[in-house]
Amino acid sequence: MGHALKSFDDDIAELEGRVAELGDATEKLAIAANAPLFCGPEADPDALKAVHGRVCELERNCADFAIVLIARRRPVACDLRAIVASLRIAAIADMAFFAKTGRRITSPSEGLGIAREPLASAA
């Protein structure tokens, strides 16, 4: 959509890029959270924490940028809907339950001394 101000188009494109980057990071978070299912105890919990931290940072950046964009540009209805949609995506992208689930998958079997095979080799 073309606007009278090229800078507004640039701002919208930057917001879209930030949301896309957040989506990529969220995908990596899902993969890292499921690693204990496939790798067993060898899965790196620090990698999961790092990816989760990055997702949280990107979520804040997207939300802050969208709020500033609304305040500065005072967009019309169709632009406002696109900006609010990006805010909603950013709000749900932080899936902290992935991190908690990944930690719970390995912890019980290790704590009880139960040997557990990763799913990939269980077939």
Q: Does domain 6-107 have CATH number 1.20.200.10?
A: no
Per-residue confidence of the chain (123 residues) as pLDDT tens digits?
555 578 888 999 999 999 999 989 988 888 887 877 777 777 777 888 888 889 889 989 998 999 899 888 888 888 888 888 888 877 776 555 555 555 555 554 444 444 445 455 444
Alpha helix segments (H runs only) across the chain? 6-39, 45-73, 77-93, 96-112
- Domain limits, the chain: 6-107
- Interatomic CA distance for residues 123 and 112, integer angstroms: 24
**Which pTM was predicted?**
0.68
